[in-house]
Amino acid sequence: MNHALIVIDMQNDFCPGGALAVTGGDQIVADINAKMSGASAVVLTQDWHPAQHSSFASQHAGRAPLEVIDMPYGPQVLWPDHCVQGTRGAEFHPELNTDRADLIIRKGFRHQIDSYSAFFENDQRTPTGLEGYLRSRGLTELEFVGLATDFCVAWSAIDAAKLGFSVRVLTGLCRSIDHDGSMAQAEDAMRAAGVTLV
């Protein structure tokens, strides 16, 4: 019983009609729910930003969403305002089976830094605590699903592989943003890190 299903950011703002909608994001909810029954543990992540978060294009004069800027911790893609704490957009998709979750981990809650990965913030060194949770429960085999494949899923899977977990990404249960070649880049980076794409 060492297999965790990690469901990345299945929230209203990442689904059609949301502020940062991923095409087809809502189409994978039912299959993700079905997948939960076979897992030893289910972890949900929730993008959870304060209003005026530094990753929002609205906070940078003259900048538009999807432009890249240099932050003290490295390059950062700018996004539309999304997943603001306490808003409907930050809530999970209403059909997602949140009852089955053993743990809900929130990320991106510090104003000055974004967090794509479920393991580390975007400086790639500040831990979220998820590694410790999984290790202390003996969960060594991780399967990732959710949104978006080429950002939060990929960064999470790559970090998990670097940390020594056995990692699979179930691509049929993910959807991507695929901006400017980001999906091909993410697939290459995941494979290079030892992630299995199923």
**Interface positions with Zn ion (CB under 5 A):** 47, 108
- Smallest separation (angstroms) from Zn ion to the CB of 40: 28
C-beta of residue 164 within 8 angstroms of C-beta of residue 195? no
Catalytic site residue from 107, 114, 150, 174? 107
Examine the residue annotation and report whether 162 is marked as an active-site residue of this protein. no
Nearer to Zn ion, 42 or 83 (CB): 83
- Smallest separation (angstroms) from Zn ion to the CB of 176: 15
Nearer to Zn ion, 19 or 169 (CB): 19
Question: For residues 168 and 144, what is the distance between their CA atoms, to the nearest angstrom?
Answer: 6
Question: In the Cβ-directed half-sphere of 148, how many Cα atoms lie within 13 Å?
Answer: 19
- Report the run of H or E that residue 41 belongs to, with start and end: strand 41-47
Examine the residue annotation and report whether 107 is marked as an active-site residue of this protein. yes
Please give the radius of gyration of the chain, using alpha carbons only, rounded to the nearest integer: 16
Examine the residue annotation and report whether 188 is marked as an active-site residue of this protein. no
Residue ranges in 53-153 assigned as alpha helix (H)? 130-136
Nearer to Zn ion, 33 or 117 (CB): 117
Catalytic site residue from 15, 83, 152, 174? 152
Any bridge partners for residue 11, and if so which?
A: 92
Nearer to Zn ion, 127 or 172 (CB): 127
**Is 64 in a helix, a strand, or coil?**
coil
- Smallest separation (angstroms) from Zn ion to the CB of 53: 7
What separation, in Å, do the N-terminal and C-terminal C-alpha atoms of the chain show? 21
- Smallest separation (angstroms) from Zn ion to the CB of 3: 27
* Residues designated catalytic: 9, 107, 152
